[in-house]
Amino acid sequence: MSDTKPQPILDQVSREWFDAAREGKLLIQRCAACERFQFYPRAHCIHCFAGRPEWHEASGRGRLHTFSVVYQTPNPEFADDCPYVLAIVDLEEDVRMTSRLVDVAEEDIACDMPVTVTFGGWDELSLPFFTADGSA
């Protein structure tokens, strides 16, 4: 298997998000015009199309909307990670985010379970993952 995983292309819209993740902060964008949040990083608001949404540090808390356990992948770079849990999380800020669920036994995973952000990754890349929130 390959030891080299693909790396994201950092651009002027996403660089700040990746830099914050490296520092253990989860950023999402908030529109100054309509005050709604959005994820993933974009140069404009997806709700009202105003330009230049502002960065906001998210709470990092949410609920598991849905998930899938990946046992095999067509991408050889991720074969050694299998099985892993692909998760869609509804953040408290009313945005939905795709990520991984980590450090939770498969039999304990359930839709609507409370989750909290944690960070992991490979090489110099840090990404937000989620884990069960034991405080809820």
Question: Nearest 5°: phi and psi at 28?
Answer: -130, 165
DSSP of 83-117: SEEEEEEEETTS-EEEEEE-S--GGG--TT-EEEE
What's the pLDDT tens digit per position in 15-67?
Answer: 999 999 999 999 999 999 999 999 999 999 999 999 999 999 999 999 999 99
**Report field, pTM of the whole predicted structure over 0.75:** yes
Over range 60-85, report the average pLDDT.
95
Say if CB 106 and CB 85 are below 8 A apart: yes
Amino acid of residue 59: S
